[in-house]
Amino acid sequence: MRTVGSSREKTWPRIRTKGIDLICKTGFERMNLRKLAKESGIQVGSLYNYFSSKDEFLYKVICEIMSDLLATIEEAIEGTSNPVERLRIYVRTMVVWHCERRKEAYVSHNELKSLPKAGYNEVRSLRKRFEIILGDIVEKGCASGDFTVACRPVTVVAILNMLTSISEWYRPSGALRVELIVDTYEKLIGNMLLLKHQ
């Protein structure tokens, strides 16, 4: 009989969180499934109810991380068609997420190299969605006359690199507040796009 609190809905999030913690401490290659099971409070064999291999665990985790962030961004920008406002929402969402969920950001950005080829290709497709969404915002802003850029693809990649690198240097214990980082990035990116309505 299944004990109270041992449902998949409760167990998988715990496995995922402990796995992310271990990857951040040791790197994926050195992460041990026995250690993951122990940290998660389950038997090693029970892990295979959630994934078939260590590689599949990483693939599943990275896909979930990226899908969750994409859904958050898409939901947040859905309420407005104004490119200026959509840009600010996109930037704010990305900055806050990369500050508050640094471990997930680390795994999704730095462990792509550890994915098997098939998983890597699918994750690349998910990553491309961030570029497509931002590219659409910039394109519509240029069409409306709110933005001016010399080269849209280069500008979009530059903005994404700025946003995704935050988790590399931000520290919750540091002097910089998240809101200050958000405001600063909004201004920096607005200047890159020669934003008219600041």
The predicted-structure confidence for 132-176, as pLDDT tens digits, reads as follows: 999 999 999 999 999 999 899 999 999 999 999 998 899 999 899
pLDDT for residue 92 is more than 50:
yes
Q: Over the chain, what is the mean pLDDT?
A: 91
Residue with tokens 């200050």: 180
* Chain region(s) in the chain for CATH 1.10.357.10: 55-192
Reported confidence tier of residue 54, pLDDT bands at 50, 70, 90: very high
pLDDT for residue 119 is more than 80:
yes
Residue 10 has a pLDDT of 85
Can you say whether residue 30 is alpha, beta or left, with left for phi > 0 and alpha for psi between -120 and 50 degrees? alpha
pLDDT for residue 112 is more than 50:
yes
Residue 7 has a pLDDT of 63
Domain 1-50: homologous superfamily in CATH: Homeodomain-like (1.10.10.60)
The CA distance from 30 to 129, in Å, is 30
Residue 117 has a pLDDT of 84
Residue 17 sits at φ, ψ, to 5 deg, of -65, -45
Reported confidence tier of residue 121, pLDDT bands at 50, 70, 90: confident
CA nearest to 20, candidates 61, 63, 81, 49 = 61
Domain 55-192: homologous superfamily in CATH: Tetracycline Repressor, domain 2 (1.10.357.10)
